[in-house]
Structure 1
Amino acid sequence: MIKTLIFDFGDVFINLDKEGAMANALDLFKVNELPEELIAINALYEQGLLSTEEFLEFYCINFPELSKDEIIDAWNYILCDFPVRRLEFIQQLAKDNVYQLILLSNTNALHIECIQKHISFFEDFKACFNKFYLSHEVMMRKPDATIFEFVLSENNLKPEECLFIDDTTENTEAAKALRFNVWNNNPKSEDIIDLFSHKKELF
């Protein structure tokens, strides 16, 4: 029996343009693929192991032809719209109070600042959840088992009583290995508002 719903944020609630952001970054940085060093720095920033100032300083040193604002714009390029129907969906779930609601997102301070600036109902959205875990605040990130174990321990949960929803296969596979029920949603063809029809066998 499912008692807790654990949601990713990007491409579950807020739409992302991952392909466009990557193409934009490769063009801006004049590279054919992101160097391993950049990927590692990005991951450290998502874990809160680098401050925003340190993160931007790294990029400014490595790409001195770019301004700080250009780097921030490229970093936030991935963020798109947040359909109101998804806000209404989670608000209704919170009102019904049948399930414990948890958000578990790999993100970072710059993205959250941008979302707070451009998504007028972000605080209303956040208020729907019993717990709201952002990777840079808890200093862990998916798909590491530690972040899933942290959520279980913090909330006294059993994984078999949780449904974890994420668009990234690597993340849902990691959760499944820990005995979570999972839905690896496809943002191009599926919508979180249809959760109960997509996963009706669990409810």
Structure 2
Amino acid sequence: MIKNIIFDFGDIFINLDKQGTYKAMASLGVTKISDEMIKVYHNYEKGLLNTEKFIEFFYKKFEIPKNDLINAWNAVLLDFPVTRLDFLKELSSSEKYRLFLLSNTNDLHIKWIKNSLGEVFYNEFKNSFEQFYLSHEINFRKPDSEIYEFVLNENNLIAEETFFVDDLKENTDAANELGIHVWNLIPGKDDVTELFIKNKIN
């Protein structure tokens, strides 16, 4: 019996243009993503690097104005359909499940999201969850097994009683290896509002 549901954020609730940052960086003259750049990005997402140092790295490397870098970084973020918030609020108010958010995200993205959605919308979203875990605040990132173990242990959750929704297969596969039930939601094909239609959750 499922008692707990863990949701990802990007392309589950807020829509993403996954190529948005790459396209924006390419327009600024950066067309190759190096291993060093990926490592810096992962460290930033884990909160091991602050925003100032993150932007400074790219500024020194490419001599691109910092505001342009920030705009390019946030180009991945799109809209948040209100139907998904309504679905979440209804699910939360039913008190049938313990709800958690678990997102690989970072300080710049969250600031953009708060500003874009507005304080009321953002707080209604955040307050629908028992815990709101962002990778840069807990120093873990998906698909590392430690992040799932952290959520399970911190909240005394049993893996077999827990359901996880994410748009990336590598993330759902990692959670499933720990015994967590999963749904690899495909953006454009699936919608989180179809959670109970497309999955057997009792």
- The residue that corresponds to 1:78 in the other structure is 76
Shift of residue 194, structure 1, vs aligned partner: 0.6
Q: Say whether 1:61 aligns with 2:60.
A: yes
Shift of residue 28, structure 1, vs aligned partner: 2.0
| Alignment of structure 1 residues 39-118 onto 2, 5 Å | 39-64=38-63, 66-118=64-116
Q: Distance in 2 between matches of 1:171 and 1:123?
A: 26
Shift of residue 109, structure 1, vs aligned partner: 0.2
- The residue that corresponds to 1:131 in the other structure is 131
Name the aligned partner's letter for residue 83 of structure 2: R
- The residue that corresponds to 1:35 in the other structure is 34
Shift of residue 47, structure 1, vs aligned partner: 0.1
Name the aligned partner's letter for residue 15 of structure 2: N
> What is the CA deviation profile of residues 29-75 of structure 1, one whole-angstrom value per residue up to 9, with x for unaligned ones?
432x31111111100000000000110110110011x1110000000
Shift of residue 188, structure 1, vs aligned partner: 1.2
Q: Secondary structure at the match of 1:58?
A: helix
Shift of residue 21, structure 1, vs aligned partner: 2.7
- The residue that corresponds to 1:161 in the other structure is 161
Q: Secondary structure at the match of 1:142?
A: coil
Q: Distance in 2 between matches of 1:144 and 1:26?
A: 29
Count of aligned positions: 200
Partners of 1:165 and 1:185 within 8 A in 2: yes
Name the aligned partner's letter for residue 90 of structure 1: L
Q: Distance in 2 between matches of 1:20 and 1:54?
A: 22
- The residue that corresponds to 1:174 in the other structure is 174
Q: Secondary structure at the match of 1:146?
A: helix
Query: What runs of 5+ residues in structure 2 fail to find an aligned partner?
Result: none
TM-score scaled to structure 1, two decimals? 0.96
What is the identity percentage for the equivalent residue pairs of Structure 1 and Structure 2?
Answer: 49
Name the aligned partner's letter for residue 84 of structure 1: V
Partners of 1:104 and 1:134 within 8 A in 2: yes
Partners of 1:103 and 1:133 within 8 A in 2: yes
Shift of residue 27, structure 1, vs aligned partner: 3.2
RMSD, aligned α-carbons: 0.9
Partners of 1:26 and 1:34 within 8 A in 2: no
Query: What runs of 5+ residues in structure 1 fail to find an aligned partner?
Result: none
